[in-house]
Structure 1
Amino acid sequence: MSFQMRRITLGVAFLTALFLTIAIACGPSAEPAASSETSPAAPATAPAAAADQPAATAPSADTKANRTDGTSSEQPTAAPDQQAAADPTATSAPSRPQTVPIQSAEDIPTIEGIDAWLNTEMELQIAQLAAEGKVVLVDFWTYTCINCIRTLPYLRDWWAQYEDDGLVILGIHTPEFEFEKDYQNVADAIETHSVGWPVAQDNNMTTWRNFENRYWPAKYLYNVRGEMIYSHFGEGAYAETEERIRNALVEAGADLSDDPFNAPQDQARDPAFQSARQSGRAAVTPELYAGWHRNFLTARAGRPPYVAQQEYFDAILNAEDRTEHTVATIEVMVPQDIQPHAMYFQGQWSVEPERIRHARKTENLEDYLALNYAAKSVNAVLTSDSGEPYRVIMTVDGAMMTPENAGEDVQWDENGVSYILVDEPRMYALVDNPQYLHESILTMRSDSDDFGLFAFTFGVYAEGP
């Protein structure tokens, strides 16, 4: 082993030990667990910081496997400080029972450590609601989580249909990123997504831990005796979940005879993706995180990191007095041949724990990021430190975007330049292709030094993000 490799390996070991100490303090962080027949190609030259890493053996690495058959976009997001020690790249996803043994009323987790309640004037507890004859559906979510966003239409339907019959939905908002702890950000998201049921801000993960929860989104159903009778993690199984809700309401005395059960359908996958899957070419880029915390945790798990440039890792490894808050600036170039399923950066960028940020103001859009992805839709979590809006110019395969392939947040100026306007911290819909693409290169450019990227997510549904 060369001196350089030994130095880098020791640096990763240091950071690994650091993560084991600060996992809880850093807050929940990971990507959706996934299963697949194939794995994405690693960068042509794997970053040394990601090389020679042991498999994950302790609960501090990402549990979202870098799998690419499309199921990654549908599986729940898992918090790394609570992941299973099993190989995260195994074909089967982490154990996620759709039903659970009935949990007695004496074991009802307490909702506590709440920073604020929204959509209610009082604090709520499952035991008290059950004593009042209510059926309670607890939903763990966070507002930039694509998996959570996809479940909200179903929750809205259940709330509208069954609230008068005795259903109470309790939203537990446990943040994945630091900015998701902000009360106004959560309040704005609740308004944007028409969330009408009570929501508790669980910023310190106290209630999350009381439930021994591991995923966003996660649903737990309680009957009027205070027993947990059903749970589901991730997207899908909407018909089964609604049927369980209806059964619990009928048992509680609700009359649903005039309210027929129209079983909701899970979201349909794109036909082109289905065809590619049958031919064995159904790669889908997994969720990609831009912050160095997750990149090093992923490297520790023995998987390709989300950023494919060695300079990114060297900047953290070479930083003096490294802590969980270390920030470092890099100047990098995008290579001619960019490999799939990884991010590349051009110019000056600030490598930060949860994100990467454009590190200077420019005038000619000379700095950019590039991504070779496989999906039908692409989304990104973006913020602005100053609070001032900024433009990010978007191109796909070297051309400006069109209404045919643009996500709902894309706009065009008078010259036909496609861009998004980042004016609040949230998830932005960037790309919505007419059909699934096995390979396409997305570039994003901005002159603003507020340009901050947290994560990319991808979808293969016929409709929606």
Structure 2
Amino acid sequence: MTPEQEQADAAEQQEQQEQEQLDPAEAERLRLRAEEISANATVTDVVGINAWLNGEETSVALELAKGNIVLVDFWTYTCINCVRTLPFLTAWDEKYRDHGLVIIGIHSPEFAFEERLENVQGAIDEYDIEYLVAIDNDHVSFRTFQGARRFWPRKYLIGPTPDGSPMGVLYDHIGEGDYHETEIAIRQALEAGGRDLSNVPIGVEVEAPSRRGQPTGQTRELYMGWRRNSGRPYAGQDAYYLSSLGAVTQFVDVASSQREHNRWYLEGLWQIEEESIVHARQTDDLEDYVALIIRGRTVNLVLTAADNGQPYDVFVEIDGRWLFPNEAGAHIQWDDEGRSFIRVTENDLYRLLFLPEWSEHELKLSSNSDQFRLFAFTFGSYVGGE
């Protein structure tokens, strides 16, 4: 960037800040209007937030008092379903921000390590998120909005409703997909508020994954920790359930022919934790492993970095061999012996497989490190990508 461009950007930012600084009388008017909106609302507001990123603290009622429409998105950065929706959210933010759309991404972590602000900020930077992100580490907003049936991702479009409520849900969408329908709902809400979108074409230039021709039977999301497995079994061995939380257990894998789909299997010494399983010893020859049958095109795994900050490697095989380049996910590397592996350096979602077509395989992961900690596998079957 040239000095002239930097100077122009600085001037633009200063002008924007001056415009955003309200005089006391206007600020008081908005506060009173927001209180009135809240008192007559038919939906909760954002509550219990630990921190705000990408901007100053706000509320749905205050944004509505300013004449805006609010899109609330519940997400967490290791959820692959959430990650797939982010390009659409960032595109809508860029497209409709100046027309009265305010997006609040409420980050409600699924795992404890996702509570760290630096991890969330890293995801914000990675995915070019410029809209507000509210940190909901205690799941207060997550529970208040969604009640007993809670999902990642989930979007609520909030504004004045046709029945006269000044603050209600105009549109509610669970999971991925229906992006055109969601954008139409956004436009209708903005236009109902008097925004002129006649020169704003509908649609965003984002490659939406397609489910055309997707076979049935994709592997479900698989969790490794005790808390999830105590309610819905994902582990394929009785030894897991005969053990206890915090116990270090010697596992003996079953024969390959005995493995069931939608289960995972262990070999070697492992410790069972609340949200994860941990390789409980250092080894020399990758003799301890996790194995499972997978169906789909893409495989992702949530892992955490070593406690001492040193990288460690996890080796990845399918059907008893190392990966070919056209099967590899974004994080796969190969060593001098041609072995496929990922290098774990941070707490994140790691992309293991991106197969040429939907298929069934036996996946095996092994590491010599006693820092190898697994949280959850996720899978995809998209024709157009992940």
Q: What is the TM-score normalised by the length of structure 1? A: 0.70
Structure 2 residue aligned with 1:332: 251
CA contact (8 A) 1:307 1:342 kept: yes
Structure 1 residue aligned with 2:358: 436
CA contact (8 A) 1:108 1:127 kept: no
Cα distance in 2 for partners of 1:143, 1:361 equals: 30
Structure 1 residue aligned with 2:385: 464
Structure 1 residue aligned with 2:173: 232
1:348-371, Cα deviation, whole Å (9 max, x unpaired): 011111111100011111111111
Cα distance in 1 for partners of 2:313, 2:297 equals: 23
Kindly provide the amino acid, as one letter, of the partner of residue 222 in structure 2.
Answer: L
Matched, 1:241 2:176: no
| SS of corresponding position for 1:180 | helix
Matched, 1:217 2:153: yes
Which of these residues, 375, 381, 384, is aligned with residue 302 of structure 2?
A: 381
| SS of corresponding position for 2:231 | helix
| Structure 1 residues 55-94: aligned runs within 5 Å | none
| Structure 1 residues 160-309: aligned runs within 5 Å | 160-213=94-147, 214-223=150-159, 225-262=166-203, 267-269=209-211, 271=213, 273=214, 277=215, 282-298=216-232, 305-309=233-237
Cα distance in 1 for partners of 2:109, 2:263 equals: 25
1:223, distance to aligned residue in structure 2 (A): 2.2
Which of these residues, 393, 408, 433, is aligned with residue 315 of structure 2?
A: 393
Cα distance in 2 for partners of 1:135, 1:254 equals: 10
User: 1:347 and 1:270, CA in 2 relative to 1: closer, same or farther beyond 3 A?
Assistant: farther
Kindly provide the amino acid, as one letter, of the partner of residue 236 in structure 1.
Answer: G
Cα distance in 2 for partners of 1:308, 1:239 equals: 40
Question: Which structure has the larger Rg?
Answer: 2
Cα distance in 2 for partners of 1:265, 1:359 equals: 42
Structure 2: which 5+ residue stretches go unaligned?
1-37, 161-165
CA contact (8 A) 1:345 1:369 kept: yes
Cα distance in 1 for partners of 2:283, 2:69 equals: 56
Kindly provide the amino acid, as one letter, of the partner of residue 218 in structure 1.
Answer: R
Matched, 1:315 2:251: no
CA contact (8 A) 2:333 2:342 kept: yes
Which of these residues, 416, 435, 449, is aligned with residue 370 of structure 2?
A: 449
Cα distance in 1 for partners of 2:132, 2:292 equals: 38
Structure 1 segments, 4+ long, off by >4 Å, are: 263-266
Matched, 1:159 2:93: yes
Report percent identity of matched pairs.
43
| SS of corresponding position for 2:243 | helix
| SS of corresponding position for 1:347 | strand
CA contact (8 A) 2:183 2:203 kept: no
1:270, distance to aligned residue in structure 2 (A): 5.8
Q: Which has the higher contact order (CA 8 A, sep 6+)?
A: 1
CA contact (8 A) 2:157 2:172 kept: yes
1:217, distance to aligned residue in structure 2 (A): 0.8
- Greater CA drift, 428-437 or 407-416: 407-416
Cα distance in 1 for partners of 2:155, 2:303 equals: 27
| SS of corresponding position for 1:371 | strand
User: 1:105 and 1:422, CA in 2 relative to 1: closer, same or farther beyond 3 A?
Assistant: farther
Q: How many residues align?
A: 338
1:294-352, Cα deviation, whole Å (9 max, x unpaired): 11111xxxxxx211111111111xxxxxxxxx301111121222222211111101111
Matched, 1:127 2:61: yes
Kindly provide the amino acid, as one letter, of the partner of residue 229 in structure 1.
Answer: L
1:181, distance to aligned residue in structure 2 (A): 0.9
CA contact (8 A) 2:278 2:374 kept: yes
CA contact (8 A) 1:289 1:454 kept: yes
Cα distance in 1 for partners of 2:201, 2:57 equals: 33
User: 1:265 and 1:232, CA in 2 relative to 1: closer, same or farther beyond 3 A?
Assistant: farther
Kindly provide the amino acid, as one letter, of the partner of residue 269 in structure 1.
Answer: R
User: 1:270 and 1:328, CA in 2 relative to 1: closer, same or farther beyond 3 A?
Assistant: farther
1:412, distance to aligned residue in structure 2 (A): 1.1
Structure 1: which 5+ residue stretches go unaligned?
1-102, 299-304, 317-325
1:144-174, Cα deviation, whole Å (9 max, x unpaired): 1111111111101101111111110001111
Kindly provide the amino acid, as one letter, of the partner of residue 458 in structure 1.
Answer: F
Structure 1 residue aligned with 2:51: 116
Cα distance in 2 for partners of 1:393, 1:129 equals: 49
Structure 2 residue aligned with 1:141: 75
Cα distance in 2 for partners of 1:364, 1:229 equals: 57
Which of these residues, 342, 347, 353, is aligned with residue 274 of structure 2?
A: 353
Kindly provide the amino acid, as one letter, of the partner of residue 237 in structure 1.
Answer: D
Cα distance in 2 for partners of 1:215, 1:241 equals: 17
Cα distance in 1 for partners of 2:142, 2:195 equals: 30
Which of these residues, 306, 318, 329, is aligned with residue 407 of structure 1?
A: 329
| SS of corresponding position for 1:107 | coil
| SS of corresponding position for 1:393 | strand
Cα distance in 2 for partners of 1:215, 1:105 equals: 26
1:265, distance to aligned residue in structure 2 (A): 7.8
1:95-116, Cα deviation, whole Å (9 max, x unpaired): xxxxxxxx99523413222111
CA contact (8 A) 1:368 1:444 kept: yes
Q: What is the TM-score normalised by the length of structure 2? A: 0.84
1:269, distance to aligned residue in structure 2 (A): 2.0
Cα distance in 2 for partners of 1:212, 1:233 equals: 10
Structure 1 residue aligned with 2:16: none
CA contact (8 A) 1:406 1:431 kept: yes
Kindly provide the amino acid, as one letter, of the partner of residue 241 in structure 2.
Answer: F
